[in-house]
Amino acid sequence: MKVGIIGASGYGGLELIRLLHNHTEVETIDLFTSSEEGIIFSHKYTHLLNIHDEPLLKIENDRLADFDVVFASTPSGVTSELLPPLIGRGPKLIDLSGDFRLKDPSQYEQWYKKKPAPIHAIEKSVYGLTEWNETAIQHAPLIANPGCYPTAVLLSLLPLLKENLIDATQIVIDAKSGISGAGNKPSQMTHFSETNENTAIYKLHQHQHIPEIEQAINRFADHSSPITFTTHLVPMTRGILATSYAPLNEGTTEKQLIESLQETYKNHPFVRIIKETNKFGTNQVYGSNFCDIHVKVDPRTNRATIVSVIDNLVKGAAGQAIQNMNVQFGFDQITGLQQVPLFI
Ligand SMILES: NC(=O)C1=CN([C@@H]2O[C@H](COP(=O)(O)OP(=O)(O)OC[C@H]3O[C@@H](n4cnc5c(N)ncnc54)[C@H](OP(=O)(O)O)[C@@H]3O)[C@@H](O)[C@H]2O)C=CC1
Ligand SMILES: CC(=O)N[C@@H](CCC(=O)OP(=O)(O)O)C(=O)O
């Protein structure tokens, strides 16, 4: 199949390239740019020498319409204009940005502070949390790939919320991300001298993933309480660790929590439930499409601590996008995504 990537030079784009090169069904990968047309890609990124020595292409709808699938990995506010004219013109569309995730356009305006996508396009888009929305993804013309934090949080919480094992009104989520989550554009926030030897909380109560997580909890687990969600930047390149705390509902045991997770994901190869562990961290999924989940009850407080880890660029972005492509095209979900984590 023929693949096009818009935003190829960004972190999500580079990860798509890395993973798609091992995909047995992919014949060609063409790379698009909004700012560096004609630049030889391997001159910009030496690690792609002898792999992508062709020039970057200008983004043009007629050209994009020829692909089987087009991935867009661009900043928010770009695909809301770029992709709607391509819906139904041929390629399956997979958007890694937040532009089509929120079903209520006023929420997008409020949290992203940008103009929302046209409502007809939002209505056609399907939320790409693969393990929870596979049937809809199969027929979707446009996939709204989930945010990195929501992927880690939702995969760990949805089974327990859906089965009413934990108190949905009292969820507190404390999440930490590596710096690649902020993309390749340098900023004050990601400057080495301000991130090295530092851990910082950011976007307190204002993070754009709050409404995305709440929307998905409502949709897939039928609870509508607001969540407390905080994000932290830690001095590492990749990885997200999300720790959620929730009181147990009457009668819930730790065994039930573990069994709920195991049962939910028994046929899902990328979600691993880690039963016993003293150490649980982002390096156990680094470079892979796994989401690992661990849950433990504190009998002193009767609260559950639910921890999950992903690689933000793989399961949190490019890997899940390719998993969704596999579902759309009827390939085995693991095709191209069997990388063993780079532990050390
Ligand atoms: N980094 C992460 O861990 C995750 C990111 N995301 C989301 O995925 C998207 C991409 O993220 P990421 O790769 O990190 O971002 P980057 O900033 O690293 O890359 C974005 C790329 O988009 C292209 N671009 C910029 N402006 C435009 C424009 N106006 N039109 C077309 N293309 C444009 C640029 O390439 P060029 O100048 O060549 O056009 C740039 O390289 C974002 O929306 C992000 O929020 C989602 C999950 C995780
Ligand atoms: C470390 C870091 O800055 N991470 C980004 C995650 C970006 C992302 O996935 O945002 P979208 O919803 O726009 O896709 C953030 O917290 O905003």
231 located within any domain: yes
Angstrom distance (rounded) from CA 315 to CA 322? 9
Same domain flag for 199 and 299:
yes
**pLDDT average, residue stretch 85-92:** 96
- Confidence band of 139 (pLDDT split at 50, 70, 90): very high
Query: Rounded mean pLDDT of 165-179?
Result: 98
Q: What is the mean pLDDT of the segment spanning 233-249?
A: 98
Atom of ligand 1 minimally distant from the CA of 96: 8
- How many Cα atoms within 13 Å fall on the side-chain side of residue 5? 29
**Domain for residue 177, yes or no?**
yes
- The verdict on 161 and 197 lying in the same domain is yes
pLDDT of residue 68: 98
Residue 97 has pLDDT above 90, yes or no: yes
* Confidence check: pLDDT of 54 > 90: yes
Share the mean pLDDT of the chain: 97
- CA atoms of 297 and 258, how far apart (whole Å): 10
Closest by Cα among 46, 92, 96, 152 to 325? 92
Residue 196 has pLDDT above 90, yes or no: yes
- Residue 333 domain flag: no
- Looking at residue 111, which CATH number applies to its domain? 3.40.50.720
CA of 71 to the centre of ligand 1 (A): 11
Confidence (pLDDT) at 234? 98
Using DSSP, state whether 177 is helix, strand or coil.
Answer: strand
Ligand 1 neighbour 178 (Cβ under 6 A): no
Give me the number of domains the chain comprises.
Answer: 2
Phi, psi of 306 (to 5 degrees): -120, 120
Tell me: do 87 and 173 sit in the same domain: no
pTM of the model as a whole:
0.98
Q: What mean pLDDT comes out for the span 97-113?
A: 98
Range of the domain at 98: 2-145+315-328
The residues facing 240 across adjacent strands are: 177, 310
Q: Is the pLDDT of residue 163 over 90?
A: yes
Same domain, 192 and 86: no
Helices (H), 166-272: 192-195, 209-221, 254-264
**97 and 153 together in one domain:** no
Ligand nearest to the CA of 71: 1
Task: Tell me what pLDDT residue 216 has.
Answer: 98
The Cα 66–Cα 72 span in angstroms is 15
Give yes or no for a contact between 168 and 226, defined as CB atoms under 8 angstroms apart.
no
Cβ of 261 less than 6 Å from ligand 2: no
Q: What's the average model confidence in pLDDT over 208-226?
A: 98
Query: Average pLDDT of 147-170?
Result: 98
Contact 227, 211 (CB under 8 A): no
| pLDDT score, position 223 | 98
Q: Are 91 and 228 in contact (CB under 8 A)?
A: no
On whether residue 83 sits in a domain, the answer given is: yes
How many whole angstroms from 250 Cα to the centroid of ligand 2?
36
Q: Answer yes or no: is 337 within a domain.
A: no
Confidence bin at 106 (pLDDT 50/70/90): very high
**Do 265 and 131 share a structural domain?**
no
**Residue 128 beta carbon below 6 angstroms from any ligand 1 atom:** no
Same domain, 154 and 290: yes
Residue of 160, 161, 130 whose CA lies nearest to 145: 130
Ligand 1 centre to CA of 337 (Å) is 21
**For the chain, first and last CA: distance in Å?**
34
Pocket test for ligand 1, best of 34, 95, 190 (most atoms within 8 A of CB): 34
**342, part of any domain:** no
Task: Let me know how many helices (H) and strands (E) the chain has, helices first.
Answer: 12, 14
Q: Which-ligand-closest: CA of 14?
A: 1
* pLDDT more than 90, % of the chain: 99
Does residue 341 lie in a domain region?
Answer: no
Q: Please check whether residues 166 and 302 belong to one and the same domain.
A: yes
Q: Is 142 helix (H, G, I), strand (E, B) or coil?
A: strand
- Please state, in angstroms and rounded to a whole number, the distance separating the CA atoms of residues 344 and 180: 18
- In three-state secondary structure terms, 214 is helix
The secondary structure of residue 308, as a DSSP letter, is: E
**Which of 207, 217, 68 shows the shortest CA–CA distance to 129?**
217
What is the spatial distance between Cα 22 and Cα 289, in angstroms, rounded to a whole number? 14
Residues 237, 111 within the same domain? no
Pair 117, 175 in one domain: no
pLDDT tens, position by position, 281-300: 999 999 999 999 999 999 99
Question: Are 130 and 172 found together in one domain?
Answer: no
Rounded to the nearest 10°, the torsion over CA 135, 139, 145, 146 is -30
E-strand ranges in the chain read 2-6, 28-33, 57-58, 69-72, 92-95, 125-127, 142-144, 172-177, 200-202, 228-233, 240-247, 271-273, 291-298, 303-310
Domain of 281, CATH number, reads 3.30.360.10
237 plus 182 within the same structural domain: yes
Residue percentage of the chain with pLDDT more than 70: 100
Per-residue confidence (pLDDT) for residue 128, from 0 to 100: 98
Residues designated catalytic: 148
Q: What residues does 297 pair with on adjacent strands?
A: 304
Res 278: pLDDT: 87
Alpha carbon of 242 to those of 12, 46, 276: distances in Å?
A: 20, 34, 18
Mean pLDDT across 70-79: 98
